[in-house]
Amino acid sequence: MTTQEMKMAFEQAYGKQVEKMYFSPGRVNLIGEHTDYNGGCVFPCALSFGAWLLIAKNADRVLRFQSMNMPQKYEIPISEIQPQPDKAWCNYALGCIEIIARRHPEAKLESGYDLLYYGNVPAGAGLSSSAAMEVVTARAFTEEMGWKDADDKKYRTELALIGQACEHEYAGVMCGIMDQFASAQGKKDHAIYLNCDTMEFEHVPVKLEGIKVVITNTHSPHHLDSGAYNDRVRQCKTAVEQICKVKPIKCLAELTPEDWKEVEGAISDPIAKKRARHVVGEVARTAAAVEALKKGEIAYFGELMTASHVSLRDDYEVTGKELDTLAEAAWQVEGVLGSRMTGGGFGGCTVSLVKDEAIEDFKAFVGKEYEEKTGLKADFYVAEIGNGVMRLE
C-alpha cells in the first residue's frame, strides 16, 4: 500500500483531501523476554512496517474513525470521549486523545477530525500492532492539541506512556512499556537496550553485514492469556520471597548467575525455581548480547538468542508446539546464527539471524517442516530496522 493509495482511500472515505499524515512502527524484541516485570532489561527494535494515520479537521465537532483493515466505522462527539463497548478498535485511539488532555491540561481538542488508519503489522503476531496505533495517535494529537515537549527524547517517552495508559484503561490490557517505547524511540539500524522500570535506555547500532533479521509468523495467534501471565508473575514473586530468607532482593534481575548458585536452594517451590532460573539467565544473556553486538560478535549474539529460546521453552514454559517447531527447524539450517521466540509466547513469531545466502533455504526448509508438523503455513518477513514515530507530511 503506497501513501498515494492511502490518500486516495481517505478522499473516497471523507470526500476531501488529507491534511496531515503520520507513521509509527511495530517492533520485534531481539532478546530479553519476560524480564521486564522482573526488573530486567529488554532489547527491541522498531520495524519498517507499522501503522499510518491520515487526518483532516471537520466542522462537526465529532471524531470519525475508519480503518482500511477493519470494517467498523465510528462517529463520536468530542464532548463524549469515553471507552466504547464490545472492544471497539477505536478505543486504541480514543484513549490516547483523552489521556493527552488529562496528562497535559494545556492541551485542548478544539475541533472535530476525520481519521483513517492503515496498518501492515500482521494481526495477532505479537509484533505490537496496537502499540503502533496508540503511538501514532498520540503523536498526531499532541500536535493537534497544542502540546509538545521541546526535549525530543522526553517527548517520545511521553508518547509511549500515553500509549501504555491507553492500553491499560481503554483496552484493559495491563502491558509493560516496551512495545510503545520501541514504537516511539526507535532508531534506524539500532536496537534499544531498555530498563523498563527506570526507562533509561541506550540506542545500540545493529551492524549485520551480510545477515538479515527474519521474522517468522506461526499464524497461531499469540495467546498468553492473563491467567498464564499472572501465574508467572506470581511464581516469580514467590521466588523473590523465598530468596529473601537468605539474601534481601527486590526483584530477580538483581541476581547475577553467581548469586543464583548461592540462593537457588532457598526456593522450595520447584515451579518458582524454574521461572526464576530463566529470569536470572535471561537478564545475563541480554546484557551479554548487547556487548556482543557492540563488539561485532554476531555469531555469539545468535548463540545467545538460541539459548534464550531453550530457557523460555524449558524453564518459563511459554513457547508451545508452533514456536518450538519453527525454532528447532531454524537451528538445522546452515547459515542461521540463532533463532528464538519473540513476544509473550504461545504463538506469535520467531526472530532469526540468517545469512543472506541462506534466506531462501531457510524459508523452504523451515516452511516445509512447520507445515508437516503443525498443518499450518508460516509467513516470513525479512525485517528492516526503522525509525520511531514520525510525521510524514
Mean pLDDT of the chain: 94
Phi, psi (deg, nearest 5) at residue 24: -140, 135
150 within domain boundaries: yes
Residue from 203, 196, 212, 209 nearest 339 by CA: 212
- The reported pLDDT for the residue numbered 226 is 56
Give per-residue pLDDT as tens, 372-382. 999 999 999 99
- The reported pLDDT for the residue numbered 224 is 54
Q: How far apart are the first and last CA of the chain?
A: 17
User: What is the C-alpha separation between 241 and 236, in angstroms, rounded?
Assistant: 9
Give per-residue pLDDT as tens, 179-205. 999 999 999 999 999 998 899 999 999
152 within domain boundaries: yes
- The reported pLDDT for the residue numbered 124 is 66
Q: What is the mean pLDDT of residues 339-357?
A: 93
State how many domains the chain has: 1
321 within domain boundaries: no
**Angle, alpha carbons 171-173-179 (nearest 5°):** 100
- The reported pLDDT for the residue numbered 174 is 75
Give per-residue pLDDT as tens, 64-82. 999 999 999 999 999 999 9
265 within domain boundaries: no
Q: What is the mean pLDDT of residues 354-371?
A: 98
21 within domain boundaries: yes
- The reported pLDDT for the residue numbered 388 is 98
Domain hosting residue 174, numbered range:
3-204+387-391
177 within domain boundaries: yes
Which of 179, 231, 259, 269 is flagged as catalytic?
Answer: 179
User: What is the C-alpha separation between 298 and 165, in angstroms, rounded?
Assistant: 36
- The reported pLDDT for the residue numbered 220 is 85
pLDDT at 173 over 90: no
* Rounded percentage of the chain residues whose pLDDT exceeds 90: 87
311 within domain boundaries: no
Between 205-214, 225-234, 382-391, the lowest mean confidence (pLDDT) is in 225-234
Model confidence pTM above 0.85: yes
pLDDT at 347 over 80: yes
179 is catalytic: yes
Give per-residue pLDDT as tens, 9-54. 999 999 999 999 999 999 999 999 999 889 999 999 999 999 999 9
User: What is the C-alpha separation between 105 and 267, in angstroms, rounded?
Assistant: 48
Give per-residue pLDDT as tens, 317-326. 999 999 999 9
275 within domain boundaries: no
- The reported pLDDT for the residue numbered 175 is 79
- In this structure, what CATH number is given to the domain that contains residue 181? 3.30.230.10
- The reported pLDDT for the residue numbered 127 is 76
Give per-residue pLDDT as tens, 80-135. 999 999 989 999 999 999 999 999 999 999 999 999 999 998 766 777 789 999 99
Model confidence band, residue 228 (pLDDT cutoffs 50, 70, 90): confident
pLDDT at 225 over 60: no
Convert the chain into a string of H (helix), E (strand) and C (coil): CCHHHHHHHHHHHHCCCCCEEEEEEEEEECCCCCCHHHCCEECEEEEEEEEEEEEEEECCCEEEEEECCCCCCEEEEHHHCCCCCCCCCCHHHHHHHHHHHHHCCCCCCCCEEEEEEEECCCCCCCCCHHHHHHHHHHHHHHHHCCCCCCCHHHHHHHHHHHHHHHHHHHCCCCCCCHHHHHHHHCECCEEEEEECCCCCEEEEECCCCCEEEEEEECCCCCCCCHHHHHHHHHHHHHHHHHHCCCCCCCCHHHCCHHHHHHHHHHCCCHHHHHHHHHHHHHHHHHHHHHHHHHHCCHHHHHHHHHHHHHHHHHCCCCCCHHHHHHHHHHCCCCCEEEEEEECCCCCCEEEEEEEHHHHHHHHHHHHHHHHHHHCCCCEEEEECECCCCEECC
Give per-residue pLDDT as tens, 265-312. 999 999 999 999 999 999 999 999 999 999 999 999 999 999 999 999
Q: What is the mean pLDDT of residues 241-268?
A: 97
